[in-house]
């Protein structure tokens, strides 16, 4: 049985802040910081947005493109995030309710730093492939926080994408998935702490680069493929610099990664990053296009996917929901004061 993507939907909040504005507040050359990270601006959620609302919008966009799919045929909903609004109480149940998929289904929240969304796709593939469910929904979404003044504040942003995984009318077949996972403490956040901590330079070579290149090489070896066999490649993008460098190390060109590289204009959407990059590629993909995907989550692991777009994409109702490019076109740039208010960094009188 072929298992793959039946539909997808993306969501990115409307507000943006620029590195030079963040740097202005902290006495840092933000422009140079942004240049070093390849980040021109990052998305900021509205005060009434969180992972639930972002995941729900992505899921509704996903369902809008497949009007013939009955949401009651969805047997599983997984939301991957490192910024679930509740410590206890699943995001996934709220999102499932918002697409009318409840109650005959299973649901859970996933956590694996920036790769919880792709982990959900793998779980859904297993459930669909084994015949346990007809459709599974996997969502990666985050409203990530960087500590004020920390390097992460220049990149940590918000957004998400949802995938309907199934075996009928798939627009993209997932030929294979595999993972590379180790215990690597490059980035973490303890229970109750508002901001994550990271191992500084340690987050590069032994963490991101080792896991991404290992998973990617394993995949090409398993499939007997070379970088030039793929039309598009999407790598996890904590900034613009890492995916560009890892692509070059593996032998992929800038043309192959351009369509799926969104971080320079929206920042690092964490669990949303690779799912959004893949959504941007599917927005323009044509039958036969082969797509290479490798996510990365600190802690640490990488999930790789080898995907082929099918003829079904010709009849697929992409136009029923906004594309990633359309979501990125209408933005409002805010200053640090408004950003601080939006992100609850200003102490308000307790009257709620």
Partner 1 sequence: MSSVAKEWREIPGRYNLEGSKCPCCGKVYFPKRNMCPVCRRESIGKMEPYSISRKGEVYTFSIIHDAPDFTTKLKPYAVAMVKTTDGIMISAQLVDVDPADVRIGMPVRAVLRKIKTDGPDGVIHYGYKFVPDE
Catalytic residue numbers read 82, 114, 236
To the nearest 10 degrees (0 to 180), the angle between helices 91-98 and 51-64 is: 40
Beta bridge partners of 165: 5, 136
Which listed residue (49, 82, 142, 289) binds partner 1 by CB under 8 A?
49
* The one segment of 49-57, 75-83, 108-116, 171-179 that binds partner 1 by CB under 8 A: 49-57
Under the criterion CB under 8 A, does residue 86 sit at the interface with partner 1?
A: yes
Under the criterion CB under 8 A, does residue 137 sit at the interface with partner 1?
A: no
Which listed residue (7, 41, 81, 98) binds partner 1 by CB under 8 A?
98
To the nearest 10 degrees (0 to 180), the angle between helices 273-282 and 116-129 is: 60
Minimum separation from the CB atom of position 329 to partner 1 (A): 9
Minimum separation from the CB atom of position 46 to partner 1 (A): 6
Which listed residue (27, 48, 104, 131) binds partner 1 by CB under 8 A?
48
Estimate to the nearest angstrom the gap between the alpha carbon of 148 and the chain centroid.
23
Which of 39, 48, 2 is CA-nearest to residue 17?
39
Strand order in the sheet with 74-80: 106-110, 74-80, 135-143, 158-166, 4-11, 172-184, 299-309, 290-294, 232-235
Under the criterion CB under 8 A, does residue 97 sit at the interface with partner 1?
A: yes
* The one segment of 90-98, 128-136, 166-174, 217-225 that binds partner 1 by CB under 8 A: 90-98
Which listed residue (2, 14, 227, 284) binds partner 1 by CB under 8 A?
14
Q: Which is nearer to partner 1, 84 or 211 (CB)?
A: 84
Q: Which is nearer to partner 1, 119 or 162 (CB)?
A: 162
Q: How many CB atoms lie within 10 A of CB 48?
A: 7
* The one segment of 95-103, 149-157, 186-194, 205-213 that binds partner 1 by CB under 8 A: 95-103
Q: Which is nearer to partner 1, 48 or 191 (CB)?
A: 48
Under the criterion CB under 8 A, does residue 50 sit at the interface with partner 1?
A: yes
Alpha helices (H) in the chain, listed in sequence order: 19-26, 30-37, 51-64, 91-98, 116-129, 210-223, 241-250, 254-258, 263-266, 273-282, 324-329, 336-342
Distance CA 266, CA 43 (A): 5
> Which residues fall within 8 angstroms of residue 103, CB to CB, at 6 or more apart?
none
Binding to partner 1, residues 293-332 (CB under 8 A): 322, 326, 330
Minimum separation from the CB atom of position 52 to partner 1 (A): 6
Under the criterion CB under 8 A, does residue 94 sit at the interface with partner 1?
A: yes
Site string for partner 1, 164-203 (x = CB under 8 A): ----------------------------------------
Minimum separation from the CB atom of position 56 to partner 1 (A): 4
- For the chain, the straight-line distance linking the first and the last C-alpha, in angstroms and rounded, comes to 53
Minimum separation from the CB atom of position 352 to partner 1 (A): 5
What are the Cα distances from residue 83, in Å, to 12, 136, 185, 233? 15, 22, 19, 27
Under the criterion CB under 8 A, does residue 333 sit at the interface with partner 1?
A: no
DSSP state of 311: G
Under the criterion CB under 8 A, does residue 130 sit at the interface with partner 1?
A: no
DSSP string, 78-118: EEE-S--S-SSS-HHHHHHHHTT--SSSEEEEE-BTBTHHH
């Amino acid at each position: 049985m072929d298992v793959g993507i039946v539909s997808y939907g993306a969501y990115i909040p409307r507000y943006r802040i620029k590195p030079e504005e963040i740097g202005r507040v902290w006495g840092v050359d933000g422009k140079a910081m942004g240049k070093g990270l390849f980040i021109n601006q990052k998305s900021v959620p509205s005060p009434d947005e969180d992972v639930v609302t972002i995941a729900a919008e992505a899921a509704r966009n996903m369902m809008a493109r497949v009007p013939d799919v009955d949401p009651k045929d969805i047997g599983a909903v997984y939301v991957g995030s490192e910024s679930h609004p509740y410590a206890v109480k699943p995001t996934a149940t709220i999102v499932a309710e918002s697409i009318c998929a409840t109650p005959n289904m299973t649901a859970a929240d996933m956590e694996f730093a920036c790769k919880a969304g792709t982990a959900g796709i793998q779980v859904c593939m297993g459930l669909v492939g084994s015949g346990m469910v007809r459709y599974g929904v996997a969502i990666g979404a985050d409203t990530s926080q960087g500590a004020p003044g920390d390097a992460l504040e220049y990149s940590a942003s918000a957004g998400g994408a949802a995938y309907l995984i199934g075996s009928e009318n798939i627009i993209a077949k997932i030929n294979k998935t595999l993972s590379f996972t180790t215990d690597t403490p490059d980035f973490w956040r303890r229970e109750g702490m508002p901001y994550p901590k990271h191992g500084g330079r340690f987050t590069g070579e032994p963490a991101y680069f080792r896991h991404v290149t290992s998973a990617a090489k394993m995949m090409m070896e398993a499939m007997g493929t070379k970088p030039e066999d793929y039309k598009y490649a999407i790598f996890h993008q904590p900034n613009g610099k890492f995916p560009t460098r890892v692509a070059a190390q593996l032998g992929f060109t800038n043309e192959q990664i351009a369509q799926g590289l969104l971080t320079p204009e929206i920042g690092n959407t964490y669990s949303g990053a690779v799912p959004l990059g893949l959504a941007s590629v599917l927005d323009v993909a044509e039958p036969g296009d082969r797509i290479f995907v490798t996510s990365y989550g600190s802690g640490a692991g990488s999930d790789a996917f080898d995907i082929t777009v099918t003829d079904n994409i010709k009849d697929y109702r992409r136009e029923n929901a906004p594309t990633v490019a359309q979501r990125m076109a209408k933005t409002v740039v805010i200053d640090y004061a408004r950003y601080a208010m939006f992100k609850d960094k200003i102490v308000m009188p307790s009257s709620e």
